[in-house]
Every structure is written in C-alpha cells, then in structure tokens.
Structure 1
Amino acid sequence: MTSIIAALASKADFTFLDEPEAGMDTLSREKFYQMLLDEFSDSGRAFVIATHLIDEVSDLTEEVIFLDFHLKSTLDCGRIRLMENTQQLLGRSFLISGLKEKTEALASKYESYDMGNFGRGKSIAVLLRPGESLPEDPEFTIKPLTLQKIFAALCMEE
C-alpha cells in the first residue's frame, strides 16, 4: 500500500503500477480505482497498470496492450500481441456459439480464435476488422466479449 501512496503522490506524468490491487479486498480496490480516475481527471497523468484482473480494470482503460510472455522463443517473449483503444476493441469482439461445423464455417471468414467445444457445439471468438459485420442468424448465439475473454482467446492460440 505504501508503494501506491508514493506512486500517487509523485505526480509524475507517467506512473507505472504492477499489480497494484494485489492483496486488496473488493471495497479497497474500488476506492483505489476511483482515486486513479479522480487523479487522471484532475491532472491528466497517464497510468500504466499491469494486472491479472483484466475485466475489473476494463472500465478504467482508454488503451489496452496485451503482452505475450508465454512464447516458446525467448526472442519473441514480451512482444506486443495487441494494442488498441479499449472501446473499439470491445466493439469489434464477439463470441459465436453454435453447432460445431456451422460455427467453424462462419468463423473462418473472420479473424477468429477457438474457445472450445461443448458437446456438438463450439464457441469461437471473432475480432471483426473495419467494414466487417456478423450476420443475424438464429442458428448462432452471438455475444460481446470481455477484455479478459479476448486475452484468453489470444493466449489459447499459442
């Protein structure tokens, strides 16, 4: 907690926080996030947060950067896997579920990531590119993805 106080008090233009919410209970984390938002609103400071609580901080973020640390080659370790405006990324990311063969056929037309099978069904994460859209089809369930699910989809491909 002392490091968080020091980081906020520093008034540095860029403040880097590595798992700052580790060890905090839910209420403390919510208060901490509100303090970050207030400080950002008041000063315009940039906060870079490394966290495993991806969905919890998604409403705080303007930009998201997913780094890849699980590659087989140490030369690629730490490369940027995805960097994008948070709202734009969320607006183009969907989970398609349906019968396996039909879902695979639909998803093959897009940037897609296998999210697993369930019986005769399959779920696939789809990240649309500009100009692309998904068809409205009652054979499929289409839901928006969360940042955490997007991260999981990208990492499952390795």
Structure 2
Amino acid sequence: MRFVAIPTKVVRSYQAGGLDANGQVPERTLSDGAGNPCRHCLGMIPEAAGMLVLAHRPFPAPQPYAEVGPIFLCADACAAGGGEAMPAMLAASDYIVRGYGADDRIVYGTGGVVETAAIAARARELFKDARVSYLHVRSARNNCYQCRIDR
C-alpha cells in the first residue's frame, strides 16, 4: 500500500493561480506553522512560509459522493510526497479512513475514526474487501481531505 499526494500537475495549476473546485483563485497567505499540512509534499508548511488555501475535489469528476473541501498547499513548488511510509503531516491526531470503489463512491461500512498509529493496520484491513479500490484519509475533526492510500 502507498500514500498518495495530490498529483503534481494539479498542484502546479493551483500554484500558478488556476481555479479551484469552486471556480475561485486559491487564497495566498502565510502559514502559522501549526496545523497547515500540504497535500502535495505531505509535510507541514513551515511557519511564515507561503501557503495556498483552496477548495479541492479529490475525485476525477463531480458526482454525489465527490466531496469538495478546503485544503492547504505550499505556495511555492514542492516535491511530491508519498510512498509506503506514513506521511509526516499525519503525526499525532485522529483521522477518518474510508474506502471508495472503482466507481469513486463510498463503500458503505468502511469509514471509521482511527489514530495515526492505527492507519496502516486499518488500511490493510479495508483492502481485504474486494469492493474497495482506494482509501481517503480525512481529518476526524473537520473532514478535510489529507491524502489517498492505494493498494
């Protein structure tokens, strides 16, 4: 299984002023250094670093289950994060881990709140279900999209 960031092509568009999922230009601000995870490098955006705030839909097309929500990105180009290791931005919190089918719709009964230390075990358990094609990791407090997990 691998943790997957928002694709670089999508991020570069946002960083260049491309419109977000709500048709708005991403807001540019400075990170306060706490609680600003970049969904591309999968690390925390350092204090006083440029940051984008925007609406993102981590699905290929609009449909009833294609949630849109706020995310943060580094304002300047950053390297894509991801891989088999737990991303740094997921440290010390609790998250919703939820399965989606090949049709990009929620697989009912797969969502649950887990602490960081249990994400990998929960992902392995959910991937035993043949209906689950991929997972989302979302904030348990605000439901904000964090990253995707692929088999």
More helix by share: 1
Q: Which has the higher contact order (CA 8 A, sep 6+)?
A: 2
Q: Is TM more than 0.5 here? A: no
Larger Rg: 1
Return the TM-score normalized by structure 1: 0.29
Return the TM-score normalized by structure 2: 0.30
